[in-house]
Structure 1
Amino acid sequence: MFSHVFISVSQFDRALAFYSPLMATLGLEQRFCQPDTPWAGWHSPGGQRPLLLIGHPYNGQPHQPGNGQMVALSASSRAQVDAAHQLALVHGGQCDGAPGLRAHYHADYYGAYFRDPDGNKLCVVCHAPPEAAR
């Protein structure tokens, strides 16, 4: 469905220090990193798309987080959701909803919400029941 998702950041080095370990925790591979541009991208192992990209706004204007916008990243287990949330907080993120079940979405929706150091809202979610999650 998606080709890529671009997340605007104000300080590339700080954002890279936040997103690199988060993507590694989720098992995503870095496809490229060009600090001089600056931008970086990750994708699923062995894949090409979709890409998650971070970088300065293309128009050269200051970064502003969107109101009501969120990027949700898939996790393979509830433990991976917990680990990603904790890692995000250690690397300068802010909690926007602790890991847990959100049965109002569906019975097995286990997610965590946080904001990156620029205020962009992210979610990490596992949709599988505990016995099916790998």
Structure 2
Amino acid sequence: MIAYVTVGANDIARAKEFYSTILPALGYGLEEGPEGLSYALPAVPGQSPVSPDFYVKPTFDGHAASAGNGSMVAFEARNQKQVRTLHAAALAAGGSCEGPPGFRAAYGPRFYVGYLRDPQGNKIALFSSNPNEPGRDG
């Protein structure tokens, strides 16, 4: 199980504007600290925390942050409408489009996805495969 994912950012304020348009709508809470942003799903008292957490931090070594070629973080939305809404909000918050929301022929018939780059260049996917919604072929 993945416990957490961290992406680097040179401009934490821009990163906060971008990620705060997506992650709270998916249930993540935000804690800010001197070391950056920590987004986590709420823990139910008496139960283990829900993973993974998502961190946006300056680099540990002090060098400029850079996006990983071939790296991507995917967040699951509740439905296709939420994918579209969050994709548009993230673009308005400084992201760039890497592929508009829609079905892709290479994936299953219910996999609805939109791709973005955050202001730092990290690739993000927002997807839904809700079985209660129409699929690519219907």
Matched position secondary structure for 1:76 = coil
What is the TM-score with the length of structure 2 in the denominator? 0.86
Select 1:75's aligned residue among 48, 72, 77.
77
After TM superposition, the structure 1 = structure 2 runs for residues 84-99 of structure 1, keeping only pairs within 5 Å, are 84-99=86-101
Matched position secondary structure for 1:80 = helix
Q: How many residues align?
A: 129
| Structure with max Cα Rg | 2
**CA RMSD, aligned part only?**
1.6
Residues 1:45 and 2:39 are matched in the alignment: no
Q: Is the 8 A contact 1:103 1:109 kept in 2?
A: no
How far apart in 1 are the matches of 2:90 and 2:12?
Answer: 16
How far apart in 2 are the matches of 1:86 and 1:97?
Answer: 12
Partner of 2:4: 4
What is the TM-score with the length of structure 1 in the denominator? 0.89
Q: Is the 8 A contact 1:26 1:84 kept in 2?
A: no
Partner of 2:46: none
How far apart in 2 are the matches of 1:102 and 1:6?
Answer: 27
Instruction: Could you tell me which runs of 5 or more consecutive residues in structure 2 were left unpaired when the two chains were aligned.
Output: 44-48
The residue type equivalent to 1:7 in the other structure is V
Q: CA deviation at 1:91?
A: 0.3
After TM superposition, the structure 1 = structure 2 runs for residues 21-32 of structure 1, keeping only pairs within 5 Å, are 21-30=21-30, 32=31
The residue type equivalent to 2:55 in the other structure is L
